[in-house]
Structure 1
């Protein structure tokens, strides 16, 4: 078993095609096919099944993937370990829920690129469940989500907290309590979103039962609110990103407490200088900024 075989195996899994993997690895497809067959003979089990024109990983391949990833990560870590002063470089795959990617990360990503131009950073968005699953299976190096739960093999740390702000067009009149939402359209992300859950629980505590329109886009949600079509509950990062010229008012309620956003990474990922530099910058630029209140414009909202 050689590192080159493991690298071929993981690249084929990541891309889903031997032909495209050959392009990435700068070799001919027949070489990859032969090396994978040799690896399967050594292991005594198939790692992939043919699925039409593509490939589907086998159950044994799923198990082997975790070990292959650990071995490749350790090999890369050992290579960097002998050059401790080297600046972070190489690929970095970060995932984030859309509220974080839209409201908190744009300026941070620009600064990160300026500080570490040798890092090839990829940002993916998705649901928190999908992002955690991708981290568990080493498809992402770390993710930012707004849930705090145990997941096998993952470590986590709180990065910052998001205040929750109810936004509505002035045409709806002042909103001072949950009952003031009666009869108004509510636009939120689909079920599973922690911010939607916070709003649903708040309404239930005040005996308010209302239907919620599911929209999986903050741009569309704030567009609907700006047009006077209804209301929404958004994290402060989204509020700050869109409030200028949006034509709506923000309301804060003590019962709608802030929600932590956490960074998750795999416990077996080993040392990853690019990821560690990203987390350090995130804590400095977003975490500490939120704690001090320097980046908040609280005068734009009403606290009730």
Structure 2
């Protein structure tokens, strides 16, 4: 049995009118009649009978229609599944530190949802180390991180580089050298600075501090410095407003930069949904930072 013939039967059996079926399918009525006659010969049972001017399904016709309805539903489901291979679909899990959600990703996610409403998003906020772990273990599909570490399974796409500053609250700044300041005030830094040795390289540029405090959140670190907890190594972009207002003052501008990367697994780089998000982020990263 050909699917085309079974589809014709389904339409005829639904409307019980060959003329109507011919209009729906774009066939001539003789073509419809020939297909139904051939189908009856193939299964060995009549499918329709007429009483006066009305057409009815025979018992064989009713049985066949039940099975054809299920078959055509399955074929439609298959066609829809195949069509999704040509466009983003499914679930996309995105992991990133809170800073990136606040300053970049909110705008990009809004655009992605408008472009691909059929994709279900899962958004995860965590530190850069956990982002890399989640991507490597397939718990997340795409991630944004500050810094990177060697991992042959991951692909890194550079998005941005930010100036790193050593800052403290202005009213706490004494008239003394940097070495004395670092002996008196704790040094705060973000844990992700360890990922690619960034923290160690920064330490080569300044005197050794007496006390260090590691933070998982750059925002928490910013607040701590503003409250006078200590001095901090912070992205210049994050504290641009505080420096402009004179609330924080730079004690040192590091030669090292804080690099931002988009990461995925290399063996998933050809997945359409991931490709669509990567393309949006790489093209819109700078613009998104300006609109937040």
Does structure 2 conserve the Cα–Cα contact (< 8 Å) formed by 1:187 and 1:231? yes
| CA–CA separation in structure 1 for the residues paired with 2:95 and 2:245 | 28
1:186 corresponds to: 187
1:272 corresponds to: 271
1:115 corresponds to: 115
- How far does the alpha carbon of each residue in 1:269-289 deviate from its partner, in whole angstroms, 9 at most, with x for none? 253333222222221222x55
Q: CA deviation at 1:252?
A: 7.8
> Scaled by the length of structure 2, what TM-score is found?
0.58
Alignment of 1:41-52 (within 5 A): none
> Scaled by the length of structure 1, what TM-score is found?
0.56
Q: Counterpart of 2:151 in 1: which secondary structure?
A: coil
| CA–CA separation in structure 2 for the residues paired with 1:133 and 1:186 | 27
Alignment of 1:26-45 (within 5 A): none
| CA–CA separation in structure 2 for the residues paired with 1:177 and 1:281 | 46
2:92 corresponds to: 92
2:247 corresponds to: 248
Q: Note if 1:285 corresponds to 2:250.
A: no
> Tell me, which stretches of 5 or more residues in structure 2 are unaligned?
1-77
Q: Counterpart of 1:167 in 2: which secondary structure?
A: strand
1:165 corresponds to: 165
Aligned-residue Cα RMSD (Å) equals 3.8
2:239 corresponds to: 239
Q: Counterpart of 2:254 in 1: which secondary structure?
A: coil
Q: CA deviation at 1:223?
A: 1.9
Q: CA deviation at 1:92?
A: 0.6
Q: Note if 1:124 corresponds to 2:124.
A: yes
Does structure 1 conserve the Cα–Cα contact (< 8 Å) formed by 2:93 and 2:141? yes
| CA–CA separation in structure 1 for the residues paired with 2:91 and 2:175 | 47
> Tell me, which stretches of 5 or more residues in structure 1 are unaligned?
1-75, 297-304
Q: CA deviation at 1:82?
A: 6.6
Aligned pairs, number: 212
Does structure 1 conserve the Cα–Cα contact (< 8 Å) formed by 2:167 and 2:252? no
Larger-Rg structure:
2
